[in-house]
Structure 1
Protein backbone atom coordinates (compact mmCIF):
# COMPACT_ATOMS: atom_id res chain seq x y z
CA UNK A 1 0.00 0.00 0.00
CA UNK A 2 1.45 3.39 -1.03
CA UNK A 3 1.90 6.33 1.34
CA UNK A 4 -1.13 8.16 -0.03
CA UNK A 5 -3.38 5.12 -0.18
CA UNK A 6 -3.62 4.73 3.61
CA UNK A 7 -4.74 8.34 4.41
CA UNK A 8 -7.03 8.32 1.36
CA UNK A 9 -8.62 5.10 2.59
CA UNK A 10 -9.03 6.63 6.06
CA UNK A 11 -10.75 9.71 4.61
CA UNK A 12 -13.02 7.55 2.46
CA UNK A 13 -13.95 5.33 5.39
CA UNK A 14 -14.50 8.36 7.64
CA UNK A 15 -16.71 10.02 5.03
CA UNK A 16 -18.86 6.90 4.79
CA UNK A 17 -19.17 6.81 8.58
CA UNK A 18 -20.15 10.49 8.67
CA UNK A 19 -22.82 10.00 6.02
CA UNK A 20 -24.29 7.09 7.97
CA UNK A 21 -24.18 9.02 11.25
CA UNK A 22 -25.82 12.12 9.81
CA UNK A 23 -28.44 10.01 8.05
CA UNK A 24 -29.21 8.09 11.24
CA UNK A 25 -29.46 11.29 13.28
CA UNK A 26 -31.74 12.92 10.72
CA UNK A 27 -33.96 9.83 10.59
CA UNK A 28 -34.12 9.65 14.39
CA UNK A 29 -34.95 13.36 14.61
CA UNK A 30 -37.74 12.99 12.06
CA UNK A 31 -39.08 9.89 13.78
CA UNK A 32 -39.40 11.79 17.06
CA UNK A 33 -41.90 14.06 15.34
CA UNK A 34 -44.54 11.32 15.29
CA UNK A 35 -47.45 11.92 17.67
CA UNK A 36 -48.47 8.89 19.71
CA UNK A 37 -51.66 10.57 20.87
CA UNK A 38 -52.99 10.85 17.30
CA UNK A 39 -53.80 8.37 14.55
CA UNK A 40 -53.63 8.28 10.78
CA UNK A 41 -51.95 11.05 8.80
CA UNK A 42 -52.21 13.44 11.74
CA UNK A 43 -49.81 11.27 13.74
CA UNK A 44 -47.24 11.45 10.92
CA UNK A 45 -47.68 15.17 10.32
CA UNK A 46 -44.77 16.01 12.61
CA UNK A 47 -42.48 13.73 10.59
CA UNK A 48 -43.49 15.49 7.36
CA UNK A 49 -42.84 18.88 8.90
CA UNK A 50 -39.38 17.86 10.03
CA UNK A 51 -38.58 16.42 6.61
CA UNK A 52 -39.63 19.71 5.07
CA UNK A 53 -37.38 21.59 7.50
CA UNK A 54 -34.42 19.40 6.55
CA UNK A 55 -35.07 19.99 2.84
CA UNK A 56 -35.38 23.73 3.46
CA UNK A 57 -32.11 23.74 5.41
CA UNK A 58 -30.29 21.93 2.59
CA UNK A 59 -31.74 24.39 0.06
CA UNK A 60 -30.69 27.44 2.09
CA UNK A 61 -27.19 26.01 2.58
CA UNK A 62 -26.83 25.45 -1.16
CA UNK A 63 -27.99 29.02 -1.87
CA UNK A 64 -25.58 30.36 0.75
CA UNK A 65 -22.65 28.49 -0.79
CA UNK A 66 -23.55 29.80 -4.24
CA UNK A 67 -23.71 33.33 -2.88
CA UNK A 68 -20.46 32.94 -0.90
CA UNK A 69 -18.23 30.40 -2.72
CA UNK A 70 -15.45 30.92 -0.18
CA UNK A 71 -17.71 29.24 2.37
CA UNK A 72 -17.10 25.98 0.51
CA UNK A 73 -13.50 25.97 1.74
CA UNK A 74 -14.69 26.17 5.34
CA UNK A 75 -17.20 23.35 4.84
CA UNK A 76 -14.60 21.23 3.06
CA UNK A 77 -12.09 21.75 5.86
CA UNK A 78 -14.68 20.85 8.48
CA UNK A 79 -15.75 17.72 6.59
CA UNK A 80 -12.16 16.57 6.02
CA UNK A 81 -11.27 16.99 9.70
CA UNK A 82 -14.44 15.19 10.82
CA UNK A 83 -13.89 12.36 8.32
CA UNK A 84 -10.28 11.98 9.44
CA UNK A 85 -11.37 11.61 13.06
CA UNK A 86 -14.21 9.25 12.20
CA UNK A 87 -11.95 7.08 10.05
CA UNK A 88 -9.42 6.51 12.83
CA UNK A 89 -8.76 2.76 12.98
CA UNK A 90 -9.93 0.99 16.12
CA UNK A 91 -7.55 -0.86 18.40
CA UNK A 92 -8.34 -4.22 16.78
CA UNK A 93 -7.83 -2.78 13.31
CA UNK A 94 -4.55 -1.20 14.34
CA UNK A 95 -3.32 -4.55 15.58
CA UNK A 96 -4.25 -6.13 12.25
CA UNK A 97 -2.72 -3.27 10.23
CA UNK A 98 0.48 -4.99 9.05
CA UNK A 99 -1.36 -6.96 6.35
CA UNK A 100 1.78 -7.07 4.23
CA UNK A 101 3.34 -9.53 6.69
CA UNK A 102 2.16 -13.00 5.69
CA UNK A 103 1.08 -15.48 8.32
CA UNK A 104 3.59 -18.09 9.34
CA UNK A 105 3.41 -21.06 6.99
CA UNK A 106 1.48 -24.05 8.24
CA UNK A 107 3.58 -27.03 9.23
CA UNK A 108 3.83 -29.95 6.82
CA UNK A 109 0.70 -32.06 7.11
CA UNK A 110 0.33 -35.80 6.75
CA UNK A 111 -2.64 -36.62 4.43
CA UNK A 112 -3.56 -39.72 6.42
CA UNK A 113 -3.50 -37.79 9.71
CA UNK A 114 -5.65 -35.03 8.21
CA UNK A 115 -8.21 -37.56 6.96
CA UNK A 116 -8.27 -39.19 10.39
CA UNK A 117 -8.83 -35.78 12.00
CA UNK A 118 -11.68 -34.95 9.61
CA UNK A 119 -13.40 -38.27 10.33
CA UNK A 120 -12.90 -37.73 14.06
CA UNK A 121 -14.53 -34.28 13.97
CA UNK A 122 -17.24 -35.60 11.67
CA UNK A 123 -18.26 -38.32 14.11
CA UNK A 124 -21.31 -40.21 12.87
CA UNK A 125 -22.41 -37.40 10.51
CA UNK A 126 -22.07 -37.79 6.73
CA UNK A 127 -20.22 -34.46 6.42
CA UNK A 128 -18.57 -31.67 8.40
CA UNK A 129 -18.09 -27.95 7.75
CA UNK A 130 -14.55 -26.62 7.55
CA UNK A 131 -15.35 -23.91 10.10
CA UNK A 132 -16.19 -26.69 12.57
CA UNK A 133 -12.87 -28.37 11.86
CA UNK A 134 -11.03 -25.07 12.28
CA UNK A 135 -12.79 -24.40 15.61
CA UNK A 136 -11.85 -27.92 16.73
CA UNK A 137 -8.19 -27.23 15.94
CA UNK A 138 -8.16 -23.81 17.60
CA UNK A 139 -9.74 -25.19 20.77
CA UNK A 140 -6.65 -27.36 21.02
CA UNK A 141 -4.24 -24.47 20.50
CA UNK A 142 -3.60 -25.22 16.83
CA UNK A 143 -4.03 -23.02 13.76
CA UNK A 144 -4.42 -19.89 15.87
CA UNK A 145 -5.14 -16.77 13.81
CA UNK A 146 -5.95 -18.75 10.68
CA UNK A 147 -9.16 -18.82 8.69
CA UNK A 148 -11.25 -21.26 6.70
CA UNK A 149 -9.43 -20.14 3.56
CA UNK A 150 -6.13 -21.36 5.04
CA UNK A 151 -7.70 -24.73 5.81
CA UNK A 152 -9.07 -24.94 2.27
CA UNK A 153 -5.61 -24.22 0.88
CA UNK A 154 -4.11 -26.98 3.03
CA UNK A 155 -6.73 -29.49 1.86
CA UNK A 156 -6.16 -28.42 -1.72
CA UNK A 157 -2.42 -29.04 -1.36
CA UNK A 158 -3.12 -32.50 0.09
CA UNK A 159 -5.67 -33.17 -2.70
CA UNK A 160 -8.38 -33.92 -0.14
CA UNK A 161 -11.81 -33.32 -1.75
CA UNK A 162 -13.85 -30.46 -0.28
CA UNK A 163 -16.84 -28.55 -1.57
CA UNK A 164 -18.58 -25.22 -0.95
CA UNK A 165 -22.04 -26.84 -1.10
CA UNK A 166 -21.67 -29.30 1.77
CA UNK A 167 -24.86 -29.30 3.86
CA UNK A 168 -24.80 -29.85 7.61
CA UNK A 169 -28.07 -29.26 9.46
CA UNK A 170 -29.47 -27.87 6.20
CA UNK A 171 -26.81 -25.15 5.89
CA UNK A 172 -24.57 -25.30 2.79
CA UNK A 173 -20.99 -24.01 3.01
CA UNK A 174 -17.40 -25.21 2.64
CA UNK A 175 -16.99 -28.69 4.04
CA UNK A 176 -15.93 -32.31 3.54
CA UNK A 177 -18.13 -35.36 2.90
CA UNK A 178 -17.47 -38.78 4.38
CA UNK A 179 -17.89 -40.50 1.01
CA UNK A 180 -15.10 -38.37 -0.44
CA UNK A 181 -12.76 -39.38 2.37
CA UNK A 182 -13.38 -43.08 1.78
CA UNK A 183 -11.49 -42.82 -1.53
CA UNK A 184 -7.77 -42.12 -0.98
CA UNK A 185 -6.42 -38.99 -2.62
CA UNK A 186 -3.66 -39.26 -5.26
CA UNK A 187 -1.17 -38.05 -2.64
CA UNK A 188 -2.03 -40.91 -0.27
CA UNK A 189 -2.03 -43.39 -3.15
CA UNK A 190 1.44 -42.28 -4.25
CA UNK A 191 2.76 -42.57 -0.70
CA UNK A 192 1.34 -46.07 -0.19
CA UNK A 193 2.15 -47.52 -3.63
CA UNK A 194 5.95 -47.93 -3.05
CA UNK A 195 5.24 -49.77 0.20
CA UNK A 196 2.80 -52.06 -1.54
CA UNK A 197 5.26 -52.82 -4.34
CA UNK A 198 8.06 -53.47 -1.85
CA UNK A 199 5.89 -55.85 0.16
CA UNK A 200 5.04 -57.75 -3.01
Structure 2
Protein backbone atom coordinates (compact mmCIF):
# COMPACT_ATOMS: atom_id res chain seq x y z
CA UNK A 1 0.00 0.00 0.00
CA UNK A 2 2.85 2.38 0.84
CA UNK A 3 4.59 1.68 -2.49
CA UNK A 4 1.35 2.35 -4.34
CA UNK A 5 0.80 5.66 -2.51
CA UNK A 6 4.42 6.70 -3.10
CA UNK A 7 4.26 5.86 -6.80
CA UNK A 8 0.88 7.55 -7.10
CA UNK A 9 2.16 10.66 -5.32
CA UNK A 10 5.01 10.92 -7.80
CA UNK A 11 2.58 10.55 -10.72
CA UNK A 12 0.15 13.13 -9.32
CA UNK A 13 2.94 15.59 -8.54
CA UNK A 14 4.36 15.28 -12.04
CA UNK A 15 0.97 15.59 -13.72
CA UNK A 16 -0.01 18.62 -11.61
CA UNK A 17 3.32 20.38 -12.19
CA UNK A 18 3.18 19.67 -15.94
CA UNK A 19 -0.39 20.96 -16.13
CA UNK A 20 0.50 24.14 -14.25
CA UNK A 21 3.61 24.69 -16.36
CA UNK A 22 1.55 24.24 -19.52
CA UNK A 23 -1.05 26.71 -18.23
CA UNK A 24 1.65 29.31 -17.51
CA UNK A 25 3.32 28.74 -20.89
CA UNK A 26 -0.04 29.05 -22.70
CA UNK A 27 -0.17 32.70 -21.63
CA UNK A 28 2.56 33.62 -24.14
CA UNK A 29 1.22 35.54 -27.10
CA UNK A 30 2.61 34.71 -30.53
CA UNK A 31 1.32 37.91 -32.11
CA UNK A 32 3.68 40.00 -29.93
CA UNK A 33 7.44 39.96 -29.55
CA UNK A 34 9.95 40.77 -26.84
CA UNK A 35 8.88 41.53 -23.31
CA UNK A 36 5.26 42.13 -24.35
CA UNK A 37 4.92 38.48 -25.40
CA UNK A 38 6.26 37.35 -22.03
CA UNK A 39 3.75 39.38 -20.03
CA UNK A 40 1.08 36.67 -20.23
CA UNK A 41 3.21 33.94 -18.62
CA UNK A 42 4.52 36.44 -16.05
CA UNK A 43 0.99 37.45 -15.04
CA UNK A 44 -0.09 33.81 -14.85
CA UNK A 45 2.95 32.94 -12.75
CA UNK A 46 2.16 35.81 -10.36
CA UNK A 47 -1.48 34.63 -10.14
CA UNK A 48 -0.29 31.10 -9.38
CA UNK A 49 2.07 32.42 -6.70
CA UNK A 50 -0.78 34.46 -5.15
CA UNK A 51 -3.04 31.38 -5.05
CA UNK A 52 -0.27 29.30 -3.46
CA UNK A 53 0.33 32.02 -0.87
CA UNK A 54 -3.42 32.23 -0.19
CA UNK A 55 -3.67 28.46 0.34
CA UNK A 56 -0.64 28.56 2.65
CA UNK A 57 -2.15 31.42 4.67
CA UNK A 58 -5.49 29.60 4.87
CA UNK A 59 -3.81 26.40 6.09
CA UNK A 60 -1.83 28.34 8.70
CA UNK A 61 -5.02 30.03 9.90
CA UNK A 62 -7.02 26.79 10.01
CA UNK A 63 -4.62 23.84 10.50
CA UNK A 64 -7.40 21.23 10.29
CA UNK A 65 -7.69 22.10 6.60
CA UNK A 66 -4.36 20.33 6.07
CA UNK A 67 -6.08 17.02 6.88
CA UNK A 68 -8.57 17.60 4.07
CA UNK A 69 -5.79 18.47 1.64
CA UNK A 70 -3.84 15.38 2.73
CA UNK A 71 -6.89 13.14 2.25
CA UNK A 72 -7.49 14.64 -1.20
CA UNK A 73 -3.85 14.06 -2.17
CA UNK A 74 -3.83 10.45 -0.91
CA UNK A 75 -7.06 9.69 -2.80
CA UNK A 76 -5.59 11.14 -6.00
CA UNK A 77 -2.36 9.17 -5.47
CA UNK A 78 -4.27 5.94 -4.86
CA UNK A 79 -6.41 6.41 -7.96
CA UNK A 80 -3.36 7.29 -10.10
CA UNK A 81 -2.02 3.77 -9.71
CA UNK A 82 -5.36 1.97 -9.80
CA UNK A 83 -5.69 -0.70 -12.48
CA UNK A 84 -7.67 0.47 -15.49
CA UNK A 85 -11.01 -1.29 -15.86
CA UNK A 86 -12.96 -1.54 -19.10
CA UNK A 87 -16.56 -0.60 -18.31
CA UNK A 88 -17.92 -1.05 -21.85
CA UNK A 89 -18.58 -4.76 -21.36
CA UNK A 90 -21.56 -6.10 -19.47
CA UNK A 91 -20.66 -7.73 -16.15
CA UNK A 92 -20.55 -11.51 -16.19
CA UNK A 93 -22.49 -13.72 -13.82
CA UNK A 94 -20.58 -14.92 -10.80
CA UNK A 95 -20.11 -18.37 -12.35
CA UNK A 96 -18.82 -16.87 -15.62
CA UNK A 97 -16.39 -14.35 -14.14
CA UNK A 98 -12.74 -15.26 -14.58
CA UNK A 99 -10.58 -15.06 -11.47
CA UNK A 100 -9.07 -11.63 -10.91
CA UNK A 101 -5.49 -11.49 -12.19
CA UNK A 102 -2.80 -10.18 -9.89
CA UNK A 103 -1.40 -6.92 -11.36
CA UNK A 104 2.16 -8.02 -10.59
CA UNK A 105 1.62 -11.32 -12.42
CA UNK A 106 0.16 -9.46 -15.41
CA UNK A 107 3.14 -7.09 -15.48
CA UNK A 108 5.61 -9.98 -15.22
CA UNK A 109 3.80 -11.83 -18.04
CA UNK A 110 4.02 -8.70 -20.20
CA UNK A 111 7.72 -8.27 -19.42
CA UNK A 112 8.45 -11.92 -20.21
CA UNK A 113 6.57 -11.57 -23.51
CA UNK A 114 8.60 -8.53 -24.55
CA UNK A 115 11.85 -10.00 -23.16
CA UNK A 116 11.76 -13.21 -25.13
CA UNK A 117 15.13 -14.94 -24.64
CA UNK A 118 17.13 -11.75 -24.13
CA UNK A 119 18.89 -10.91 -20.84
CA UNK A 120 16.91 -7.71 -20.34
CA UNK A 121 14.55 -5.16 -21.86
CA UNK A 122 14.47 -1.37 -21.84
CA UNK A 123 11.36 0.29 -20.45
CA UNK A 124 11.00 2.37 -23.61
CA UNK A 125 10.55 -0.88 -25.57
CA UNK A 126 7.96 -2.16 -23.08
CA UNK A 127 6.08 1.14 -23.27
CA UNK A 128 6.13 1.03 -27.08
CA UNK A 129 4.73 -2.52 -26.94
CA UNK A 130 1.96 -1.40 -24.57
CA UNK A 131 1.02 1.59 -26.71
CA UNK A 132 1.07 -0.55 -29.85
CA UNK A 133 -1.61 -2.70 -28.23
CA UNK A 134 -3.74 0.29 -27.14
CA UNK A 135 -2.62 0.55 -23.53
CA UNK A 136 -0.61 3.15 -21.65
CA UNK A 137 -1.72 6.05 -23.85
CA UNK A 138 -0.10 9.26 -22.66
CA UNK A 139 2.33 7.42 -20.40
CA UNK A 140 5.99 8.21 -20.25
CA UNK A 141 8.81 5.86 -19.28
CA UNK A 142 8.75 7.39 -15.78
CA UNK A 143 5.07 6.42 -15.38
CA UNK A 144 5.84 2.83 -16.34
CA UNK A 145 8.86 2.73 -14.03
CA UNK A 146 6.80 3.97 -11.07
CA UNK A 147 4.07 1.42 -11.72
CA UNK A 148 6.56 -1.45 -12.00
CA UNK A 149 8.36 -0.41 -8.82
CA UNK A 150 5.00 -0.12 -7.01
CA UNK A 151 4.36 -3.76 -7.97
CA UNK A 152 7.75 -4.82 -6.56
CA UNK A 153 9.45 -5.30 -9.92
CA UNK A 154 13.03 -3.97 -9.78
CA UNK A 155 14.05 -1.50 -12.47
CA UNK A 156 17.73 -1.08 -13.28
CA UNK A 157 18.66 2.59 -13.76
CA UNK A 158 21.30 1.85 -16.42
CA UNK A 159 20.67 -1.49 -18.06
CA UNK A 160 23.07 -1.77 -20.99
CA UNK A 161 21.61 -3.54 -24.02
CA UNK A 162 23.03 -3.11 -27.54
CA UNK A 163 25.50 -0.59 -26.16
CA UNK A 164 22.79 1.75 -24.84
CA UNK A 165 22.46 2.17 -21.05
CA UNK A 166 18.97 3.23 -19.95
CA UNK A 167 16.23 2.13 -17.54
CA UNK A 168 15.20 -1.48 -17.94
CA UNK A 169 14.36 -4.80 -16.33
CA UNK A 170 16.75 -7.74 -16.18
CA UNK A 171 15.47 -11.25 -16.90
CA UNK A 172 17.55 -12.58 -13.99
CA UNK A 173 15.67 -10.31 -11.56
CA UNK A 174 12.32 -11.55 -12.89
CA UNK A 175 13.43 -15.19 -12.59
CA UNK A 176 14.69 -14.59 -9.06
CA UNK A 177 11.62 -12.71 -7.76
CA UNK A 178 8.89 -14.31 -9.89
CA UNK A 179 10.05 -17.84 -10.71
CA UNK A 180 8.21 -19.79 -13.38
CA UNK A 181 7.47 -23.49 -13.16
CA UNK A 182 10.61 -24.31 -15.17
CA UNK A 183 12.90 -22.08 -13.09
CA UNK A 184 11.25 -22.48 -9.70
CA UNK A 185 13.73 -22.92 -6.88
CA UNK A 186 13.88 -26.09 -4.81
CA UNK A 187 11.54 -26.01 -1.82
CA UNK A 188 12.98 -24.56 1.32
CA UNK A 189 12.41 -26.37 4.60
CA UNK A 190 10.83 -24.18 7.26
CA UNK A 191 10.87 -25.28 10.85
CA UNK A 192 7.58 -24.66 12.64
CA UNK A 193 8.07 -23.04 16.01
What band does the TM-score fall into relative to the shorter chain?
0.3 to 0.5
Bigger helix fraction: 1
TM-score normalised by the chain length of structure 1: 0.46
Larger radius of gyration: 1
Higher relative contact order (CA 8 A, sep 6+): 2
